[in-house]
Amino acid sequence: MVASSKSGQLEVPLNWLFILIAGGAILITFFAFIQRQQSASELSIAENLVSDLESIASVAGTAKGTAQQIDFPEEDITIGCTPDCSCLFSIGAISKPFGTNLIYSPNLIRGPNLVLYSIDWNVPFRANNLLILTNSRTRYILITPTLTPPINRLISIIPNMTNLRVAKGPEAQTAKNQRQPEGKIRFIYFSQGQCDDFRGIELDEQDFSCLEVDLEKHTLDFYYRNRAGTILGPDRQTYLSEGDLIGALFTESPDQYRCNSQAEMLRLANLASVYQRRAANVTTSTCGKSYTDAATQFERLATEARKAENASKLLLHYSILSNLSEEFIRLSCKPELF
């Protein structure tokens, strides 16, 4: 009786011990498997989102002059270029290069929506479609004491859904004190020396950027905040036409603007070569005008665009071609110049 009771006492705890060990091993296996699947699933979701974003950007970029707002999950989309022009957009651990899309955007966009606005880049012929990517959380404040015709034109082109607001007159003075509880704010001035004043004002890290535009000299001065909270700038760039000026209004990073400009110039150079050859192959026209001069101008434009050094020379060829085209249209010349 004593022996059997001792065995019974040993059997039960050993049984439970065995159950605990086996059960523990099973649970650990399952938990490890679930953890792994969870991280794989997150990667898969990020990959799908990035692919979808790439497709959306590609298709939106083909439809010029359109603005649309789409729902997007509440994920952080990081968009930017390195100084050597490796331009990527990322969600989580997944990144994809821009490809041939020219995207102008803030550095960080967070859902729940995306605003896509595509515009022509006409120099003076359509050379590309530029895509502006932003969202309703990012505010753009265009500050000007008076509304001149060029500024008015800009405002009339840019759709309301891009969250661009104009502060003019007395409101321009107090616009600097705007605070943003969440999201980003970007100030745009049409005079020099305004963005420097922000150096003394406390703003939340990375929610601020500033741009000074000189409409006469076609220059852009970018001011932005680095991770340490220091305001850097001015980083001076130039713009050729309305399209890239509008792009600059929405781009925080001067590197991103510069890299897009380089891509634009290369495209412009090749396109100008196409037009040059086209003009050179025109043997007869309905209005008697010669296309040789136009072919020469296209060739010079292509050469300057490849160098991408001198914005004023590019602007000169741009305006000569623009005038030539108007003349050809006025005289109803066929084929058209472009």
Tokens of 59: 């298709």
Question: What is the pattern of x (binds another protein, CB under 8 A) and - over residues 86-105?
Answer: -------------xx-----
Contacting residue, 9, 38, 58, 226, with another protein by CB under 8 A: 58
Rule CB under 8 A: say whether 39 interacts with another protein. no
| Polymer length in residues for the chain | 338
Rule CB under 8 A: say whether 38 interacts with another protein. no
Task: Return the residues of window 257-286 that contact another protein according to CB under 8 A.
Answer: 266, 270-271, 273-275, 277-278, 281-282, 284
- Alpha carbons 147 and 264: distance in angstroms, whole number: 30
Give min distance, CB of 119 to another protein, in A.
Answer: 13
**Smaller CB distance to another protein: residue 62 or 152?**
62
- Alpha carbons 212 and 1: distance in angstroms, whole number: 98
Looking at residue 200, the DSSP 8-state letter turns out to be: G
Whether the Cβ atoms of residue 313 and residue 304 lie closer than 8 Å to each other: yes
Rule CB under 8 A: say whether 55 interacts with another protein. yes
Task: Return the residues of window 61-80 that contact another protein according to CB under 8 A.
Answer: 61-62, 64
Give min distance, CB of 288 to another protein, in A.
Answer: 14
Q: Coil, strand or helix: which one is 117?
A: strand
**Helix ranges restricted to H, the chain:** 2-62, 149-157, 171-174, 242-249, 254-280, 292-307, 311-330
Share in percent of the chain as helix, strand, coil (round to 5) = 45, 25, 30
Give min distance, CB of 191 to another protein, in A.
Answer: 33
**Smaller CB distance to another protein: residue 54 or 204?**
54
Tokens of 290: 């010669």
Q: Which residues of 52-75 are buried (b: 16+ CB within 10 A; e: fewer)?
A: ebbebbeebbeebeebebeebeeb
**Smaller CB distance to another protein: residue 3 or 228?**
3
Give min distance, CB of 24 to another protein, in A.
Answer: 13
- Alpha carbons 322 and 316: distance in angstroms, whole number: 10
Task: Return the residues of window 123-152 that contact another protein according to CB under 8 A.
Answer: 125-129
**Smaller CB distance to another protein: residue 219 or 273?**
273
**Smaller CB distance to another protein: residue 236 or 334?**
334
**Helix ranges restricted to H, 203-241:** none
Rule CB under 8 A: say whether 329 interacts with another protein. yes
Provide the CB-side half-sphere exposure for 172 (13 A, CA): 15
**Smaller CB distance to another protein: residue 151 or 321?**
321
Which residues contact another protein (rule: CB under 8 A)? 1, 3-4, 7, 11, 18, 22, 48, 51, 55, 58-59, 61-62, 64, 99-100, 125-129, 266, 270-271, 273-275, 277-278, 281-282, 284, 325, 329, 334-336, 338
